Chain A
């Protein structure tokens, strides 16, 4: 801990300044005097110029405490959990805290451009681990300064004073609100060394649950998402994308569209081939710009566009899977030998039992609640954007490139976002909005229909896994092969060919380290379909194959699926080296979540009512997770009666928010596993809307779900993605237990109906 504080103090400094109205502003970052916020700006006007201080903190003389949330909140709960970390160290009164979103900001310092807030990215479940030290430090410094002010005011030693709920009290009964101390505190010189942080026993917000700060605004319909804003009275731009994979615009007849009342312009967008504007190439499109969405939609319907295919006419998902099977069945050299332990050939040669199975998992889309949108106003010397993005800094860089403006001339607001899950790390929609606003010469609000959104997604790569296990006569797993073929998510991103596997495989994926002879290899597949980050990324497909396969081994060797897993993890506590994010795998923590989930679902109790149980675990981003499902299938109807999910994420900063993430990720795993697939045929995506891309509804949600959070003093890990990977295989394993039908191809429901 002290090490990280020292590093913090060398690289950055904590900034203290007094505003003209006497507010105290504290933040972490590199700040020049002219960038300093002035404290006399009214609350309603607080924007980037004022909040330009990283994870900042501002106390009004009336006691209101303003805390900036630097990471976008797409439902991860960052707008609640991050400010609570500061509020705890500050001993603030949470009821007086106002959370303000921070857009991205670049500052120039001695000619060097720097991000003022440090990392701003909601992704990889990393917001909390990335902020854990910074934010506590910001809160602790503010508290220290207020304490010094109280010492001077009261004449009582700091050690005798007590901070709580935004007040400092002395033993003599005197007490001061933070609001009345801020002027004095702001005059105070900051300490030479960072003030000490609280001991965990003193936490009042960290580890104590809180509901979402925006809950009231959301349930009353007052929350403004990007799509709810009309900044600059923009034209609404309804976009029609090329329906062909890597196709092009051929001809366009705009006459009828332009006659529709309210339609102002029709603009084709034909990006140069290979023009890198985001992670994925921009699809050619035509936009209809109108005074309102209704008119724009009518204009779109009247538009006549001809598209042409350019070399991907024959692309199909079935062909991709065939190619994968052929590769995995041949002796072809893999694209990458990922890991090799022991003597895998010898293990299979001497095995008593050999088991092999292939798993096919399709492309899936994000299908976020709020479809892609963006408001862009681009002028000669400034630009203002409202963007539902997970990656505000990438958005700013992109706007800079497209407009030629300096970062200081660009303002980006990131209101609460209607879902992220990796989709909004890509910036294709931002590029479209900026290009359209420039071409139109006036503010534009981009609108993607559900169909455009579903058919122009950076999809989760499809994957085919071939798993093989060698067992000795004690049914011990002595050899494990994981062969996978998939199109890499990283294709086209300037990643060298020998690194393309890194988005598809974890070098140290379990059961690596537990099985003496282990081999994993990857074959790269070619696909023109855009691909991108998803919740938990490749962990989901890899864990599905691994955890479903463990159940097949259990079945083949007549072992209980739980016992087999416990045996594999072993009785002794081990620390398995792990080169991916999260550090070494602690087998004791993994065993713990597995046992907790099994006990809570009453695993050993034999079900006589036709219900089936399934279990699975995963290690991801430094967190441990296990799912247990109880399901039944009657008259072709699947009911998920009960789900238990046990997680160990280290210290849970906001247990209420953590539970929400676990429930959501579990549902995501269910939804993806049960029904979702994006397929391509003759160079076109075949799905259009929720009719043919089913998102699970209430009927497929667990009737009862229990989330068990393992108490932990370890550093906090993320929450958003960690309960995604093990949900799907636990569900599939439960379906097998209930029906004896084993699913090797997702999505599960159509396959189950076919096999039942």
Chain B
């Protein structure tokens, strides 16, 4: 677009840089300029409409809002935005590979049909993804340490899916 030539003003008052919290979310840069006490859960859901991360209890109990922060399992409902400056956040929307292919866990979830109502499953997947990062070959006890609630009770298939994905990922390595 053509712009008219402007005469520079006599004096320049630089605009203050807009304050905000810079973070990386699923590989992209974001700046949060609202209430720094707002939790990541409502930032994702209400501000960005990135609704894969679910509300479940708002009290660190159910795991529906599980995400990864700097590669570790975290709960979005208890993470204020202020804590996220410079952090890398991964939500379920960012779990798939860059080429658009599914994460082995997502594929295993589909293969085992580990879904009932499905509402808690993004959180289950993120918790499982974080587990496989530290325990690539998880034991039953490791899987039983997962705290996420599935109200519909698809645990039997979730357990199978985690084992299937772990096997697939080791096959790739």
Contact = CB atoms under 8 A, between A and B. Distances in A.
A221 B93 contact: yes
29 contacts: A75-B117, A75-B118, A218-B118, A218-B122, A219-B106, A219-B115, A219-B121, A236-B46, A292-B42, A293-B55, A294-B39, A294-B42, A368-B117, A371-B55, A417-B117, A418-B118, A660-B113, A661-B116, A667-B152, A668-B153, A689-B59, A690-B62, A695-B62, A697-B148, A698-B143, A698-B145, A698-B155, A702-B155, A703-B140
Nearest to A449: B58
Contact of A698 (B39, B92, B159): B159
B96 A369 contact: no
B163 to A, nearest CB: 11
A664 B92 contact: no
Interface of A: 74-75, 211-212, 214-216, 218-225, 227-228, 230, 236, 261, 292-294, 297, 367-371, 416-420, 449-450, 656-657, 660-661, 663-668, 670-671, 689-691, 695-699, 701-705
Majority DSSP secondary structure for residues of B touching A? loop
Nearest to A228: B51
Given A667-B154, A690-B149, 14 more contacts: A75-B115, A75-B118, A211-B111, A218-B115, A219-B122, A220-B92, A225-B119, A292-B42, A369-B54, A419-B117, A419-B119, A689-B59, A696-B155, A703-B140
Given A214-B118, A699-B144, A221 B52 contact: yes
Contacts of A218: 115, 118, 121-122
Contact of B117 (A216, A369, A697, A699): A369
A368 B150 CA distance: 9
Nearest to A702: B156
B120 interface: yes
Given A75-B118, A419-B119, A698-B146, A660 B52 contact: no
Given A292-B47, A294-B38, A691-B61, A705 B156 contact: yes
Contacts of B20: none
Contacts of B159: 698, 701, 703
B147 A697 contact: yes
Given A211-B113, A215-B110, A292-B42, A664 B54 contact: no
Contacts of B146: 697-698
B68 interface: no
Nearest to A209: B113
Given A663-B154, A698-B144, A227 B55 contact: yes
The prevalent SS among residues of A at the interface is loop
A666 B35 CA distance: 44
By Cβ-Cβ distance, the 4 closest A-B pairs, closest first, are A221-B52, A667-B153, A75-B117, A418-B119
A229 to B, nearest CB: 8
Nearest to B157: A663
Nearest to B111: A211
Interface string B95-132: 11000001001100111010111111110010000000
Nearest to A643: B156
B152 A216 contact: no
Contacts of B151: 367-369, 419, 695
Given A221-B52, A450-B57, A698-B159, A419 B152 contact: yes
Nearest to A691: B61
